[in-house]
Structure 1
């Protein structure tokens, strides 16, 4: 498929012209296309005329790019949910820029890079929270968690009665250790739970959950950070309102959207594959 046709299709299908995002903290070097430096979404590296295959990933980590380079293939697209790599075990800010040597090699191999963060978080067929709900076999009945005029969280019905049983179910699906903070009663209230994939530990989210009467919340990053006050305030609010919080890591709660994007590209007639990345229990 012609690369520009694919970029334009993604731009249109995910309505990027009407969504805001912010990656102003990135290193904007000469490899990055000018439009990304103002829009902070969509095409980042324009290295290909044709796209023969798409690799989807949650983060453009160095290990992910190395695996693509190791294929020795040309005319590829890396599609990612984030514009930067992620190290959850790093002290302080966990995101890092793709090294220049990798960008140079991607240019030589005609490997382009396209990113959707806020547009893929916005609730929809391929979105992060909806895809996680599907993976957990939950029925989405409503949405919540609005920021920058988009809603990114979902309210789901569940047949599970106890918080512990639901937490065990999440752990089995996710496939690694998760963390349940028992801040509330042991039973799930009204058979409903809330999901906001990724980094959902913000005070406004906790306040909305309390207003909705939800007592079980599943998100990715749940670690209280002394140096980032919103996370501390989040935990205070959920404790005060007896809302149980389940953390399943930033990566693992968002990867299902990138898995579902394989289907999106294949429906366009493009070969696609998901590249499994790395989760960090330090997120919890």
Structure 2
């Protein structure tokens, strides 16, 4: 058993989430999804979380016996966590709410969705803890969503993109000569997806790639990567398939860019692209740092 406080301290020491401060995305999206359903998230979630939107969201027993790890709090993830856990166990996630990004060969998604309140009540009743880490897990070059992908491809970081004062979410890498076809094959195999969302020209000789896990469907980031010499751009989402005005506008913007890009664009789904860090780097870190067992909670369907 390990004290919850010790785990929190170690996460903050590595990812400096308190120093980074309020998460710009979820400080907007959490009120956006919970206020309309009249869920009092300010009282239900931990006080510090309601200011930073990272860190300990729900506090259970102080003694942690097992860590569960997932990207999104989907219903299947929460059902497994609640049924397989013991009081004090910790669920570590990248996102505090679900994001349905849509399926390029199926239904478009609904965007951000709240955790159904009955799941929150069940986790509190069972005295379970929930910890989420969003942009700090993208920024770190030691353990991060994009660097786990780089590590799996045995690529070398030579630059950063999507940077701000706190860090960079994307990386430019050198890779042993490969092709678009090979990158697609390796991606579907690595992420366990039935197909990738592929756009742009195909290349037979690629030595520079950009990696942006999660929502990399940003034209400005792709232009930046292209300017830096990337021949392929690997990301969670190439196209936004969210069924609202925002999603449709982004889709049209990306269509215009795809028509003139020189890069191969390969999307593997938002959730799958960010799950890799959980199943590799984070799993090893929790096991080695705390000698705690880690249970991985993958989604049965990545394109949602």
CA-to-aligned-CA distance 1:25-66 (integer Å, 9 cap, x gap)? 222253201211121111111122211111011111121111
Residue in structure 2 matched with residue 48 of structure 1 by the alignment: 61
Question: CA–CA distance in 1 between the matches of 2:69 and 2:186?
Answer: 26
Distance 1:65 1:281, change over 3 A: closer
Q: Which moved more, 1:202-211 or 1:90-99?
A: 90-99
**What TM-score do you get using the length of structure 2 for normalisation?**
0.84
CA-to-aligned-CA distance 1:192-242 (integer Å, 9 cap, x gap)? 111100110112202202211222101011224583334533443343232
SS of residue paired to 2:158: strand
Q: 2:265 matched to 1:237? A: no
Question: CA–CA distance in 2 between the matches of 1:123 and 1:8?
Answer: 16
Question: CA–CA distance in 1 between the matches of 2:67 and 2:229?
Answer: 42
Q: CA deviation at 1:261?
A: 1.1
Residue in structure 1 matched with residue 46 of structure 2 by the alignment: 33
Question: CA–CA distance in 2 between the matches of 1:13 and 1:84?
Answer: 23
CA-to-aligned-CA distance 1:155-190 (integer Å, 9 cap, x gap)? 222224322222222222222211221x2352345x
Structure 2: tracts of 5 or more residues without a match: 35-40
Counting only pairs closer than 5 Å after superposition, residues 42-121 of structure 1 correspond to structure 2 as 42-71=55-84, 73-89=86-102, 93-121=110-138
Question: CA–CA distance in 1 between the matches of 2:48 and 2:4?
Answer: 16
Distance 1:153 1:70, change over 3 A: same
Q: Which moved more, 1:138-147 or 1:149-158?
A: 138-147
Q: CA deviation at 1:84?
A: 0.7
CA-to-aligned-CA distance 1:89-116 (integer Å, 9 cap, x gap)? 4755422211111111111211010000
Aligned residues: 280
**What TM-score do you get using the length of structure 1 for normalisation?**
0.89
Question: CA–CA distance in 2 between the matches of 1:222 and 1:273?
Answer: 30
SS of residue paired to 2:211: strand
Distance 1:132 1:78, change over 3 A: same
Q: Which moved more, 1:26-35 or 1:103-112?
A: 26-35
SS of residue paired to 1:218: strand
Question: CA–CA distance in 1 between the matches of 2:192 and 2:154?
Answer: 15
Q: 2:277 matched to 1:261? A: no
Q: 2:160 matched to 1:143? A: yes
Q: 2:224 matched to 1:215? A: no
Q: CA deviation at 1:148?
A: 5.4
Question: Root-mean-square deviation (CA), in Å?
Answer: 2.2
Instruction: Check the 8 A contact 1:216/1:243 in 2, yes or no.
Output: yes
Q: CA deviation at 1:271?
A: 2.3
Residue in structure 2 matched with residue 281 of structure 1 by the alignment: 303
Structure 1: tracts of 5 or more residues without a match: none
Question: CA–CA distance in 2 between the matches of 1:96 and 1:169?
Answer: 31
Instruction: Check the 8 A contact 1:202/1:233 in 2, yes or no.
Output: no
